[in-house]
Amino acid sequence: MDGETASDSESKSDFGGSSAVPTSDDTPEVLNRALSNLSSRWKNWWVRGILTLAMITFFFIIIYLGPMVLMTIVMCVQIKCFHEIITIGYNVYHSYDLPWFRTLSWYFLLCVNYFFYGETVTDYFFTLVQREEPLRILSKYHRFISFALYLTGFCMFVLSLVKKHYRLQFYMFGWTHVTLLIVVTQSHLIIHNLFEGMIWFIVPISCVICNDIMAYMFGFFFGRTPLIKLSPKKTWEGFIGGFFSTVLFGLLLSYVMSGYRCFTCPVEFNNDTNSFTVDCEPSELFQLQEYNIPVVLQSVVGWKTVRMYPFQIHSIALSTFASLIGPFGGFFASGFKRAFKIKDFANTIPGHGGIMDRFDCQYLMATFVNVYIASFIRCVGPAGLGQSWKHNPHFPWAAVIPVPLKLLHAPSVNLGQVSRVKRAGKSNFAALTSIL
């Protein structure tokens, strides 16, 4: 059997053979007519370009509409990505007519969203929650309710097990939970990044978009050397060109955005007006600083010092991750699609595929940004204060928000106090200083 094991054969039989999911060309007819004289290569280039400009325009519009609209869009994208992945599983394995598969999948999505967004509401809308009796009760027993809801779904799954298809049903149970882990958890982190300040939401997402566009452009015009077998169209020329373009783009975008409070201030809920506010005194992270240029580079650039925002230095880390590590989210998605013999997750966006095809790198980026903020920007405890926050003029990467002297010498900080003060509407920094 050419190395095929008995278990492999059994799995093939259990899965019902071919797993191909048909795809179709959903390019608008008006574009098909306008580009009918072009070769397929250039037609695809123009379709992708026009739709990319449309999506970028839409991105600008939702940023203008504010944090609440952004959070709503993140939720909609999450639901659509979940739908696309679950639909693939359903199309591949639906021949067995497994009971409750799609129903339970959506039920678990509801449970996980209830848990994560309930935690967010309790965290950032604490005063509002305390004002309303029903919300106060839900907040108090939130985790118990979440667990009870999940347990109900778990019992329903056990009751739905069908003889001869146990293995397949457990595969589908795992499919649903991995999808929840990839999609819901990451979208929850995106919203947390948004609350840290719009700049922590816009810059990382924009860096991924820029890298995607520039890697495609460099690969289209100069690509000769294949990068990875999972994505035959990806080239080293595109990968390297995308990296340098994204780092430069990140520096420029960060410079522009760091000068506006509406982007740099944390997104907070104003209990008096029942609306989101983004007004504050900019921290030193978003104030121009002067840095010494290394002696080796002084003769090249002709400068001894340079003035820049400390956040621009952090943007180098963000753009580097977006261009070097972020694409592996796309490679992972490519491997997934190859495993099931499909070209795209869906045909939602002509020339681009499904929503998941556009957000495969964004989810990986969201996790990195959240970890980066927790590790290098936000205080995580007394032991890390001096290392994470203290300004070091000889190491500009550490040029983040300086900490008051009393904070650096504080013997101990009760993190429970920090949580309670933060829930009253203060940032982590304000919470720590008010306690001390």
Answer whether residue 434 is part of any domain: yes
Q: What is the pLDDT of residues 190-209, one digit of tens each?
A: 999 999 999 999 999 999 99
Q: How confident is the model at residue 49 (pLDDT cuts 50, 70, 90)?
A: confident
Q: How confident is the model at residue 282 (pLDDT cuts 50, 70, 90)?
A: confident
Report, as an integer, the average pLDDT of 265-291: 84
CB distance 43 to 35 below 8 Å = yes
Q: How confident is the model at residue 128 (pLDDT cuts 50, 70, 90)?
A: confident
Answer whether residue 273 is part of any domain: no
Residues 6+ apart with CB under 8 A from 195: 124, 266, 267, 268
Q: Which two tokens stand for residue 396?
A: 């500009």
Residues 6+ apart with CB under 8 A from 110: 149
Nearest-angstrom CA–CA distance, 342 and 10: 23
Give residue 108's pLDDT. Answer: 97
Answer whether residue 182 is part of any domain: no
The proportion of the chain whose per-residue pLDDT surpasses 90, expressed as a percent, equals 39
Answer whether residue 80 is part of any domain: no
Q: What is the pLDDT of residues 228-240, one digit of tens each?
A: 888 888 899 999 9
- Phi and psi of 235, rounded to 5°? -125, 160
Q: How confident is the model at residue 132 (pLDDT cuts 50, 70, 90)?
A: confident
Dmax (CA) of the chain? 76
Among 283, 317, 319, which residue's Cα sits nearest to residue 391? 283
Answer whether residue 419 is part of any domain: yes
CB distance 70 to 62 below 8 Å = yes
One DSSP character per residue, 96-109 reads G--TTHHHHHHHHH
Q: Which two tokens stand for residue 84?
A: 């696309």
Q: What is the pLDDT of residues 318-351, one digit of tens each?
A: 999 999 999 999 899 988 888 888 888 988 887 6
For residue 109, pLDDT over 80 is answered with yes
CB distance 396 to 314 below 8 Å = no
Give residue 127's pLDDT. Answer: 77
Answer whether residue 88 is part of any domain: no
CB distance 215 to 239 below 8 Å = yes
Strand ranges inside 142-278, DSSP E: 226-228, 231-235, 268-270, 275-277
Among 358, 198, 207, 311, which residue's Cα sits nearest to residue 265? 198
Give residue 94's pLDDT. Answer: 67
For residue 280, pLDDT over 80 is answered with yes
Number of domains in the chain: 1
CA-to-CA dists, residue 355 to 81, 175, 345, angstroms: 6, 19, 8
Answer whether residue 411 is part of any domain: yes
Answer whether residue 346 is part of any domain: no
Q: What is the pLDDT of residues 344-369, one digit of tens each?
A: 898 888 767 888 988 888 888 999 99
Provide the residue range defining the domain that includes 431: 378-436
Q: Quick one: how far is CA 180 from the chain centroid?
A: 14
For residue 316, pLDDT over 90 is answered with yes
CB distance 183 to 364 below 8 Å = no
Give residue 28's pLDDT. Answer: 67
